[in-house]
Chains A and B, each alone.
Chain A
Amino acid sequence: MRDRHLKYLFVLPALIVVASTAIWPLLQSFYLSFREWKLNRARESKALWDFEYDGWENITYLFDNYLQAVQDDLMWNAVQVTSIFTVASVILSVGMALGLALLLAPGGKFRLTVRTMLILPFAMSPALIGVSWRFMFQPDFGLFKAFFDVLFPPLADVDWLGDPILAMIALVGSDVWHFTPFLTLVFIGGLATVPKDAQEAATIDGATSWMVFRDVTLPSILPVLAVGIVLKSIFSLKMFDQVYMLTNGGPAYATQTLAHYIYFNGFKYYDMGYASAVSYMLVIPMFGLTWVYMKLVFLKR
């Protein structure tokens, strides 16, 4: 068979899988966001296609879910929580990853050993990370209690997960712990592509280490940095597992991210139409980020 036909045949099975496991659900969900779909109806997928025709005059009922979402305080709370979480986690993890990458980039046994450890947090189930951090923040016998007992007694009796702000800090902390090492690995790869000649030339021209970084290294890794920021933002917006295990959205919805809010509505209250609608509202900023990511990556081609 000629290449001409073969190349489509090769991608066909994969595309079928993607179409059925990804595209179909996405389209279904989109359709679902316009329907009223609660627990009882969730039992019958066939009913999805019964369209109760209410006349074109009242077409606005299609958008009921969306209207409800916009008026829902808890929804806006989730938006705020997600925004704060995303901004904080992206800035912290990208910043620390860059610093760590600079520290670990040179060779040597010590640095290489630490580098092998960098993959571990990424290999740990986010659900387990939530559990671990919850354990560490346990007010009676967690690690942090022991830590503060020794170093900073005033803080020792604080129930971190019971306080809205501290719980958020703990959540951000767990996420930063999860992703910083991974981003560090990516940035180390990026630093390797910086032209060494130009760095040495700058040193000879008279630049200090800081100037070399600012004028030569940083411009060279800007693309990698950008990809890192976009990728991490997308991961942050989607984050679910840690919230569920660490705080389950509490205390009093202080850490309920949009992903968690959607889950709650879809599978605790079984209001699936509504959950879909909120999901698709989140899709808009994510789509924006995706577009930026595509631009950055495909620019290289």
Chain B
Amino acid sequence: MLSRPARKQINDFLQFFLILSAAVFIMIPIYWIISGAFKQQVDIFQLKLLFTPTLENFKIIFKSPYNLLDKLYNSTVVAFSTVVVAIPLATIAAYSFSRFRLTGERIMFVMILSTQFVPAVVIVLPFFILFRDLGILDTKLSLVLVNLSLIMPFAIWMIKGFIDGIPLDTEEAALVDGSNRIQVIKNVVLPMALPGVITAAIFCFILAWNEFLFAVIITTNKAVTMPVGLSMFHAEEGVLWHLISAAGIMIMLPMFVLATLIQKHFVQGMTMGAVR
């Protein structure tokens, strides 16, 4: 039998190797898109490992007929609007759920979470019919409305999780000192809940930005968002991989930046209800 220090070394090495493999596995699809974006189409066909990088692809996708800038604008406006509506409403609702008992709260929870547990298409069908009637199909407004069905529950769930984690003491002290409930929320709870609220806001922004199904159904032309825009790089001769990769970077990298910002608090919010 090997001595203890020797066995420990082998163990350490094995762990290091496994973790490194996992890290590589995580990065490969990401790297593949990034490298594709900077390659000329020729280089892609030839599967070159070493290539001269080019920014041409980015120039092309922003001009017509692709006009990615429009899609970028749409994505930003839709995601932003969804979050701006969802977060404030979710925050006060989450506060109430966290601090009070309400009659019928179980039913309310079921209602709120109901959209998470059905196939997303179910939500869109009636909206499609309605929007078509009202003539607001293919508008950012309609997309925001449908997105809310997905985002609102997440927002309430996450923010409630964060508020649950804030101790009651300071609130109760403020109430005893004479503040009314609204003042307590404004002056005591919000500052403490801010990291959680921001985390939830960023998370919901990412969800809305990446959202595909609703967008592909509701939008056709004017209100197309970037993920849907990916399909326009299918040409007769095949997929324009260099262009689609460049577009992919525009979708991917801003979200990576945002995700890294919130990654510390993220798990806390997602699992507050479960991990105790």
Tell whether A pairs with B. yes
Interface residues of B (CB under 8 A from A): 15-16, 18-19, 22-23, 25-30, 32-33, 36, 44-47, 49, 85-86, 89-90, 92-93, 95-97, 99-100, 102, 108-130, 132-133, 145-146, 148-149, 152-153, 156, 181-182, 206, 209-213, 216-217, 227-228, 230, 239, 241, 244-245, 248, 251-252, 255-256, 258-260, 262-263, 266-268, 270-271, 273-276
Cross-chain contact B128 with A42 (CB below 8 angstroms): yes
Cross-chain contact B30 with A240 (CB below 8 angstroms): no
- List the B side residues contacting A129 at CB < 8 Å: 29
- Complex: chain A residue closest to B95, CB-CB: A10
- List the B side residues contacting A32 at CB < 8 Å: 125-126
Overall SS of chain B's interface: helix
| B181 CB → nearest A CB, Å | 6
CB<8 Å pairs between A and B, sample of 7: A11-B97, A21-B145, A146-B47, A146-B49, A238-B118, A238-B120, A287-B117
Cross-chain contact B271 with A48 (CB below 8 angstroms): no
Cross-chain contact A136 with B32 (CB below 8 angstroms): yes
Taken residue by residue from 222 to 262, chain A's Cβ proximity to chain B (1 for < 8 Å, 0 otherwise) reads as 01100100000010011011001100000000000011001
- List the B side residues contacting A15 at CB < 8 Å: 93, 108, 111-112
CA distance A131 to B230 in the complex (A): 8
Number of interface residues of A (CB under 8 A): 100
Choose from B112, B149, B210, B244 the contact partner of A124 (Cβ within 8 Å).
Answer: B210
Taken residue by residue from 7 to 37, chain A's Cβ proximity to chain B (1 for < 8 Å, 0 otherwise) reads as 1101101110111011111101100100000
CA distance A276 to B44 in the complex (A): 42
Cross-chain contact A17 with B152 (CB below 8 angstroms): yes
- List the A side residues contacting B95 at CB < 8 Å: 10
- List the A side residues contacting B109 at CB < 8 Å: 294
CA distance A219 to B127 in the complex (A): 46
- Complex: chain B residue closest to A289, CB-CB: B117
- Give the segment of A60-68, A111-119, A196-204 that binds chain B: A111-119
